[in-house]
Copies of this chain bind each other. A is one copy, B any other.
């Protein structure tokens, strides 16, 4: 049992915000249990932050907190630097400095990796170090490890992820409480599930960062944010949640990576109606989940908290242990990403994506409306799969007419929507939400 000695590993932490506080707390409180279970004892060597005054909900041993990054960089007894500064500016310099100073880097910075990952990985290779980033995607769920190692023998056919807790909280709340978007957002902010400036989350940008990282690992390609079609949840109305529910659907902001029938990769983040009886439809509140379809395993699903102080800190610590054991380095060195020059041609443009749609128009209550509506769709080769028209009048004597379509290309729908918007029998802009049919892996 005791053939292997306990390994002590000194950690330099940069960024003493929410997650940094969680990491410091975990190291201070759980070092014994981690050492007992894993044979690795993490030890906090220094904590670097511009703000050394603000009180944090963790008691650091005296002398650990500093605003001098050089204390970390110049200390040869510290092999691992944690970057929890966030953002794509200073954080990038800090990571590069740490790598050049001979430190392995652990980070939760998805925005930085999604934007400058290729460059940072290159610096890590040049310096013989590694970057570990399990905490960058869906903190509480060890999804990067699962894709990289657990599913390594599989060709990944598709991933469907609820990877932003803020959006899922808002959509769950709108749906279960029949709230407006603005009400649900305000509640999320009040309860700490949304930032004061929620733009990055509700625009789908944060989900796109995570998708870029996850898809690059799943498909072994360099993927940039430009490859990903992104639409946020700002324009979602509770009426559409309600009509969708009546038709058997639940609305989620999905991050989707799919191999298409033509061997390309479709990458997109958008509001998606999914069948209410699927596992992802039942993921409520701030929780995250990712369904992954592998060629050998079929469907797998991973569920847990995607953000928050302790779940993210848990992922950072897992990476620290993995780096200390030497595993992260090996995996990092063997991470093959097809370079950008090859990848570009692989990406399916959004216009070519084939999917189903939910369309709602506010139609004037006149004879012949449905015929003209359906006629335009038919002209664009779009066939109707379901329809819902409630009696009663909207503003200006209009009624909501909802239809769902069979599969069609995005460009067909775009053309049809442009024509629909011009119809004098329709009031306002048509509402269009994609319907995503998540494959059902069932017993046969």
Contact = CB atoms under 8 A, between A and B. Distances in A.
A152 to B, nearest CB: 5
Nearest to A26: B153
Nearest to A304: B300
Contact of A26 (B7, B169, B296, B315): B296
A4 B125 CA distance: 10
Contacts of A210: none
Interface stretch (A141-149, A230-238, A371-379): A141-149
A351 interface: no
A325 B336 CA distance: 14
B305 A302 contact: no
Interface in A285-305: 285-286, 289, 294-305
Of the listed residues A134, A153, A325, A331, the one surrounded by the most CB atoms of chain B closer than 10 A to its CB is A153
Contacts of A303: 279, 299-303
B155 A314 contact: no
A312 B279 CA distance: 23
Interface stretch (A29-37, A53-61, A195-203, A352-360): A29-37
Interface of A: 1, 3-4, 7, 22, 26, 30, 33-34, 36-40, 125, 134, 139-142, 145-146, 149-155, 169, 191, 193, 220, 279, 282, 284-286, 289, 294-305, 310-311, 313-315, 317-318, 321-322, 325-327, 330-331, 333-337, 339, 441-444
Contact of A314 (B282, B296, B302, B339): B296
Of the listed residues A285, A317, A336, the one surrounded by the most CB atoms of chain B closer than 10 A to its CB is A336
A142 B151 contact: yes
Copy number of this protein in the oligomer?
2
Of the listed residues A3, A301, A321, the one surrounded by the most CB atoms of chain B closer than 10 A to its CB is A301
Task: List 9 A-B pairs, minimum CB-CB distance, nearest first.
Answer: A142-B150, A153-B317, A300-B304, A296-B314, A39-B334, A140-B297, A301-B303, A285-B443, A37-B220
Contacts of A1: 336-337, 339
A321 B149 contact: yes
A334 B296 contact: no
Given A282-B282, A305-B441, A327-B331, 19 more contacts: A4-B334, A26-B296, A36-B336, A38-B334, A134-B150, A140-B297, A145-B145, A145-B149, A150-B315, A152-B322, A153-B313, A153-B317, A169-B443, A279-B282, A286-B443, A297-B314, A299-B304, A300-B303, A301-B303
A152 B38 contact: yes
A269 B26 CA distance: 32
Contacts of A294: 140, 314
Of the listed residues A1, A151, A299, A443, the one surrounded by the most CB atoms of chain B closer than 10 A to its CB is A443
Nearest to A292: B304
Contacts of A298: 140, 304-305, 310-311
B151 A318 contact: yes
A314 B154 contact: yes
Given A34-B153, A153-B26, A334-B40, A141 B300 contact: yes
Contact of A152 (B146, B149, B150, B317): B317
A314 to B, nearest CB: 4
